[in-house]
Structure 1
Amino acid sequence: MSDADRHKIIMDMLRERPFASVRDLQECLGVSAATIRRDIDKLDEIGKARKVYGGISASEGAGAHRIAARSYDENRDMAVEAKRAIAETAAGLVRDGDSIIVHAGSTCYQLGLLLARRNVRIYTNSMPLAAYLGENGTCQLTIAGGDLYREPRIIHDPNTGPPSFFASRFFVGTQGIAPEGLFESHPLLAKVISELAACADEIVLLADSRKMSIQPRNLVLPLSRISTIVIDDGLSDAGAKMLEDAGIAIMIAGTSAANHGDAR
């Protein structure tokens, strides 16, 4: 298979999804990781797609309207090393004795793991995180009440408003970031995040750099509501400028394997 043939297949994949990992492309094309990385470098160089941590993303704005929500399990296994690095950096913002909100989502889950045995009070609506902390944690845990929504793995009562819990920081993830703000495909997440945002002094966004090229349909929060973003070192100059222009403090979580490892 020629370079041009592989590049066409990669671009066809990116028309159907916002991101493809190195492993995804290896399985599809049957070539080595080194070959895939050369293909990614070339497509990024000529501006057809964007090189991001662990793989390749559609160019900003390209195909954004086509994005559909991934299942929790699918998203959990993407860009894992970047998410762990982001969580480690974010954990440094938490002091002993703090009361914090940790939202559902795979990056926030990684943060919760690191805080499990810390002297902190955690409120979460994440079913997987609540289960882990209940079994393995020593932190003080408050769990959202209501029904379990297996997708996107959250606990929520649609008949109540914001919880009676106040936090110094609300740690939240997102499916996509654009100049307008944070976006989600699932309308329930838009409602829940908006409610929890009213319960904290500060909102800290945890997002890997793939999210800068994804724009689902539901606007959740304007960028002006975000005080800090913790993001991996795949952040582009254009993405950094957009965040800085919105007044957001940027914390870069360095990854030793950045742009050299799988996204799973």
Structure 2
Amino acid sequence: MSESDRLATISDLLRERPFISARELRGLVGVSPATIRRDIEKLASSGLAHKVHGGVAALEQSSPGAVAPALPFVENRDIAVDAKKAIARTAAELVRDGSLIIIHAGSTCFHFGCEIAQRNVRVFTNSMPVAAYLNEYGTCQLTIGGGDLHREPGVLYDPTREDYSFYASQFFVGALGVSSEGLLESNPLLVRFINEICGQANEIIVLVDSRKFEAAPPTVVLPLHRVNRLITDDGLSDRAAQMLDEEGVNYMVANVSESSIDR
């Protein structure tokens, strides 16, 4: 397939979908990662699409307030990986040995789970990807939430469960978006679970990469005053940082070179 044909194919796909990962594009057009990166650069420089972490987005989906596409976990896990790993490393520094922590679903929480897999902690999670990784590679103690498996977003959940018999030091949770109103989600199951589990932890620590401040999912799952700390990456915009400051949120900015700045 020639370059012009590839660019036309990608443009046609973006008319139907708000985002396409670079990984998926490589499979669709059958070229190398370097070639896909050049194609994305060409589309962006021509003003036909937006280059974003991990892929390419339609122009109307990258403006502030755009609704974030609910990508499958296997795709989302591989987007903005450097930022998510930096956030995970910074979050791991807050974990105390011997403590019980809760790790929620989502790709940034998955990378955090990988980071603390061999720590001396007990982990409660409802995330199948996190549980599978900790089972295979971890040495920490692991408790898995029961219930039906919801393959997207990859969580175990029992809607009839009335209470939990444990209390954790920290609850590490992600979100599809963040605004002055709070953490934003689109999946009703995640909204319900987060609300239920928040009362079981002493601290709520939010793990979100900087792209999440430009998204606007429909449901506020948790107001910012409930958040004890938020960790994001150094792509945080001045506007988003100002919003966090105005809302009194204690936040940390993780640098992709493994350092962090506490604010």
TM-score (norm 2): 0.79
Superposed, which structure 2 residues align to 1:2-81 within 5 Å?
13=14, 16-17=17-18, 33=37, 36=40, 53=53, 58-62=62-66, 64=67, 67-81=68-82
The superposition leaves residues 143-168 of structure 1 with CA deviations (integer Å, 9 ceiling, x where unpaired) of 11111111111111110134222111
Say if 1:221 and 1:49 are closer, same or farther in 2 by CA, change over 3 A.
farther
Q: Is 1:105 the equivalent of 2:109?
A: no
**Number of residue pairs matched?**
244
2:150 paired residue number? 149
Alignment-mate amino acid for residue 176 of structure 2? Q
* Matched position secondary structure for 1:151: coil
**Separation in 2, partners of 1:232, 1:39:** 26
1:117 paired residue number? 118
**Separation in 2, partners of 1:196, 1:41:** 45
* Matched position secondary structure for 1:87: helix
The superposition leaves residues 60-92 of structure 1 with CA deviations (integer Å, 9 ceiling, x where unpaired) of 124x3xx44222222122111211111111101
The superposition leaves residues 181-220 of structure 1 with CA deviations (integer Å, 9 ceiling, x where unpaired) of 1111210000001111111111111111111111112221
Say if 1:113 and 1:158 are closer, same or farther in 2 by CA, change over 3 A.
same
Contact preservation (8 Å) 2:40, 2:56: no
TM-score (norm 1): 0.79
Contact preservation (8 Å) 1:53, 1:234: no
Alignment-mate amino acid for residue 206 of structure 1? L
2:209 paired residue number? 208
Alignment-mate amino acid for residue 235 of structure 2? G
**Separation in 2, partners of 1:236, 1:144:** 36
Q: Which runs of 4+ in 1 moved over 3 A?
A: 12-16, 19-28, 30-43, 48-57
Alignment-mate amino acid for residue 81 of structure 2? V
Ranked by relative contact order (alpha carbons within 8 Å, sequence separation 6 or more), the top structure is 1
Question: Deviation at 1:233?
Answer: 0.8
The superposition leaves residues 73-121 of structure 1 with CA deviations (integer Å, 9 ceiling, x where unpaired) of 2212211121111111110111111211001111111111121111111
1:176 paired residue number? 177
1:220 paired residue number? 221
Question: Deviation at 1:136?
Answer: 2.4
Contact preservation (8 Å) 1:23, 1:33: no
2:261 paired residue number? none
Say if 1:118 and 1:203 are closer, same or farther in 2 by CA, change over 3 A.
same
Gaps of 5+ in 2: 1-6, 259-263
Question: Deviation at 1:240?
Answer: 0.7
* Matched position secondary structure for 2:110: helix
**Separation in 2, partners of 1:101, 1:256:** 26
